[in-house]
Structure 1
Amino acid sequence: MEGESDLRRWDELIPDALGLIFRNLPLQEVLTVIPRVCKSWSKAVAGPYCWQEIDVEEWSNRCKPDHLDRILQLLITRSSGSLRKLCVSGLRSNMMFTFIAENAGSLQTLRLTRSEISDSVAEQIAGRLSAITFLDLSYCCKIGATALEAIGKHCKLLVGLCRNMHPLDTADKLSQDDEATVIATTMPKLKRLEMAYNVISTEGVLNIISSCSKLEFLDLRGCWDVKIDDKFMEGNFPNLKVLGPRVLDYYEINNWDDFSDYSDASEDLAWEILAGEMGDYDDDEIYNDGMYDGRLDELELRFYDGIDEDAGIYGWPPSP
């Protein structure tokens, strides 16, 4: 009996603790595996405890737009106003940008890479993003200085901005110095700024670094019109690290520094099925047994945590 009393019941952990634990698992497992373990875990997943940080950036790159919208609406709603971080790629719907902004009271980190947000939409929602400290608008081709100005005026806590572009997206642009001017005049607290492959001049860069006195890192890879004098920089801005404008290597171009989100074909299929199924269920019904009576029960789900030292680069470690 004494031995039994020392056993800990995981299903009796408070939801806050379960949320902290589940947050370290892949999103696919949290949605498809955890709710089936027991009622208390299913309840924890249905609450806001797991959804203060939502990262669907990798998955959204290969997801159908309507599925992506459904997933985001579901998860953001579950966060119940406690959302602190959101990473998503390829958003197309103006409705979703507005929905995110309406639930951004606690949002601090927002990544909207490759999204079709426009200047007019950015102006409409910028006022609701006042708590943002880090914003990634890389490869968003439909915005420019107008959007950045609205963001700079309303997001007074912003310390990090990513505005990287693809060379093909800026091939027809004569200059983006207007964006550099807006950044310099409205974002003085920036500590990190990424502007790879922007068409900006040396004057535009000097305007930024002289106005943003707290800047610690500046990415200028592929900004071929910029000429950096190393001695001048060391003498006047000793605390600022500048990367570029010369491109160093292929891996830095593609930011291949995180191998934790690789998946195989079975995971992709399961995730797509899940997204499709969610559109047919109310929020309260998603985790009922009925949802899993069909195709998902017949599908072998295999999820991977990434490459570990023992597995090397030749195989995937088994899911625990």
Structure 2
Amino acid sequence: MLPPIKLCASKSDGQKAKNHKSVPKEKMKSPILLCASKLDRQKARNHKPVPKVKESTRNWLDLPSDLAVNILHRVGVIDILENAQKVCTTWHKICKEPAMWRVVHMDTALGSLTRSQLQKICKNVVDRNQRQLADISLLGFCNNVLLKYIAERSSHLRRLEISRCYGNLNQTWTKALKKFSSLEELSLHKTEISAEAIETLGRHCPLLKILKVNLDPPQFLNKTRENLSIAIGKNLHELRHLELIGNGMTNIGLEAILDGCRHLEALDLHICFYVSLKSTGLWKRCLRQIKYVKFPENCLDGCPYKVENDNASKDGQYPNLCRTCALTATEPSLYLRRHQ
């Protein structure tokens, strides 16, 4: 048997293999350089990356003053006085400007401050606006002293809103309204106003176009009050919008309003239980004369001050009434439009 053949290189070949130096492989050119022209390849090799520019930070102090005022208005009166004006000297200066306090909204429900504390803050705000106050809402803490204070320092007031008045304002209304010659809107909720005050409105507030006197549902079905509605018809001939939610007038008062307020475009008679429209045909006159009408049986959905009268249905005083708004829920529409 023949010996096996060795499959190996000779001694001299192995020595050559050891002494062989490997040739470095040529680096792979990028696809862009392979397909680009010679000039483009040269530009690509010489290209240096552009350093990233850091984004500049915004300085809130550099905002235009009118934009800063717009932002601060959304904060609220209490937060402005207690926090925002202390942030920096720029904001403190803006908060001192009278134009900052031309529109004021204060509500006891938005914080833990007492009525006396809110009254003190309100006086401070009135002093800051330097007789430039145009619109003010006082919800839950206004009294005679505060109303008098505002009247003596706000001759250019165009809108006044008072809700859940603290005390009876009848002794102050007449004197205060004489100084509101620019008043265009008076909005009252759970706040009484007398017929004498309505006469003063007619004499001294010729620009008045909107009047809202909204009360809770009457507690007794035999208690009617015509004096307010009759005074409105006799003295406020230029009214465009009238709300008398919960008023105790009858058809007599409604006829006085329809006769005297010929320019009226919107009338709200929610929970005016003593008004009888269907039996007398007054509802036809309302629709014919007034563009928008809310009848007593309409639901209060959408009203900013929804009346809560949970005892109405319990006591049997107002049967078939909705527990949340003390109204019948048979008519869901808010407005009945003329010719609709």
| Fold match (TM-score > 0.5) | yes
1:64 alignment partner, one of 105, 111, 114? 114
The alignment partner of 1:175 has SS state of coil
2:247 alignment partner, one of 192, 195, 198? 198
CA distance in 2, matches of 1:253, 1:11: 37
1:185 alignment partner, one of 234, 255, 265? 234
Q: State yes or no: 1:80 paired with 2:133.
A: no
Give the drift of 1:78.
Answer: 1.1
Deviations 1:124-179 (A, max 9, x none): 111101111000122124x32122222222111111111111125x6387332111
Give the drift of 1:16.
Answer: 4.1
CA distance in 2, matches of 1:215, 1:55: 28
Give the drift of 1:224.
Answer: 1.2
Q: Is the 8 A contact 1:35 1:45 kept in 2?
A: yes
| 28-37 or 177-186: bigger deviation | 28-37
Give the drift of 1:68.
Answer: 1.6
Q: Is the 8 A contact 2:195 2:228 kept in 1?
A: yes
Q: State yes or no: 1:151 paired with 2:201.
A: yes
Deviations 1:27-66 (A, max 9, x none): 3432333223321012111222321110003547964221
Which residue of 2 is the match for residue 227 of structure 1? 276
2:87 alignment partner, one of 21, 27, 37? 37
Q: How does 1:1-320 map to 2 (within 5 A)?
A: 9-13=59-63, 15-59=65-109, 63-91=113-141, 93-115=143-165, 116-141=167-192, 143-168=193-218, 171=220, 174-228=223-277, 229=281, 230-234=283-287, 236-237=288-289, 239-249=290-300, 252=303, 254-255=305-306
AA at the equivalent of 1:214: H
The alignment partner of 1:110 has SS state of strand
In structure 2, stretches of 5+ residues that fail to align are 1-52, 308-340
Deviations 1:44-95 (A, max 9, x none): 1122232111000354796422112111011111111111110002345422
Name the % identity: 23
AA at the equivalent of 1:94: N
AA at the equivalent of 1:127: K
Q: CA RMSD in A?
A: 2.8
Give the drift of 1:99.
Answer: 0.7
Larger Rg: 2
How has the CA–CA distance of structure 1 residues 109 and 98 changed in structure 2, closer, same or farther, with 3 Å as cutoff? same
The alignment partner of 2:122 has SS state of helix
Deviations 1:173-195 (A, max 9, x none): 73321111111111111111111
CA distance in 1, matches of 2:155, 2:276: 41
AA at the equivalent of 1:184: G
| 113-122 or 27-36: bigger deviation | 27-36
CA distance in 2, matches of 1:173, 1:14: 60
AA at the equivalent of 1:45: C
TM-score, normalization by structure 2? 0.65
Give the drift of 1:11.
Answer: 1.8
Deviations 1:278-312 (A, max 9, x none): xxxxxxxxxxxxxxxxxxxxxxxxxxxxxxxxxxx
The alignment partner of 2:214 has SS state of coil
AA at the equivalent of 1:109: R
- The count of aligned residue pairs is 250
In structure 1, stretches of 5+ residues that fail to align are 257-320
Q: Which has the higher contact order (CA 8 A, sep 6+)?
A: 1
How has the CA–CA distance of structure 1 residues 233 and 251 changed in structure 2, closer, same or farther, with 3 Å as cutoff? closer
The alignment partner of 1:20 has SS state of helix
How has the CA–CA distance of structure 1 residues 253 and 245 changed in structure 2, closer, same or farther, with 3 Å as cutoff? farther
CA distance in 2, matches of 1:157, 1:247: 30
Which residue of 1 is the match for residue 30 of structure 2? none
